[in-house]
Amino acid sequence: MNETPSDLKFLDSHEWVKVDDNTVIVGISDHAQNELGEVVFVELPAIGDEFVSGDEAAVVESVKAASEVYTPLSGKVIEVNEALEENPELVNTSPYEDGWFFKLRVGDENLGSIDSLMTAEEYSSMLDGNS
């Protein structure tokens, strides 16, 4: 079964978000990596890129297809997971830990929209509804 850790928030486009004060970490869910299949390439944003929530911030490509990764909140990229450039399969083997994509610095004024994201429980039931 797909995992959905309870300390994370989710988007209906299958990104997960972890909030630590003003730092927000973004990755894709276990369900998403499973659907994509073996990830062979990840295109990450540049440090310093500024995004508005809903922007396409990264691309993840499996053998069969390319998918966009959207940023859940508005903010500035402060770190990217460079390990994915050499080992994109980390997205498959460790979607919630080693397979994270990028970290954003989010201003206080934009942190409120985190409440509009799905809880792990809501995301799980969305997946159950799909299957």
Partner 1 sequence: MNRTFLYESHLGLGSKFVNFSGWEMPIHYGSQINEHNSVRNSAGIFDVSHMNIFDFRGVEAKEFMRHVLTNDVNKIEDGSALYSVITNNEGGIIDDLIVYRFNNEKFRVVSNCSTFDDVNNFFESNIIKFDCEFRHRPSLGILAIQGPESEIALKNILKLELSNYKSFSFTERNKLFISRTGYTGEDGFEVIGEPEELQNIWDLFISRSIPPIGLGARDTLRVEAGMNLNGTDMTIKNNPFESNLGWVVDFSDIERDFIAKEKLLEIKNTNKIKLVGVLLNEKGILRSGQKIIKDDFEGEVTSGTFSPYMKKSIGLARIPMDISENANVLIRNKLLNVKILSLPFIRKGKIMI
Site residues, partner 1 (CB under 8 A)? 37-38, 40-41, 43, 59, 61, 63-66, 85
Distances (CA, A) of 94 to 16, 22, 28, 112: 13, 24, 10, 28
> 47 vs 66, which CB is nearer to partner 1?
66
> 65 vs 121, which CB is nearer to partner 1?
65
> 71 vs 118, which CB is nearer to partner 1?
71
CA nearest neighbour of 6 among 15, 14, 18: 18
CA angle, residues 107, 112, 118, in degrees to nearest 5: 125
**CB 112, min distance to partner 1, A:** 31
Give residues with Cβ within 8 angstroms of 116, minimum separation 6.
Answer: none
**CB 99, min distance to partner 1, A:** 17
**CB 36, min distance to partner 1, A:** 11
> 61 vs 122, which CB is nearer to partner 1?
61
- Is 18 in a helix, a strand, or coil? strand
**CB 2, min distance to partner 1, A:** 13
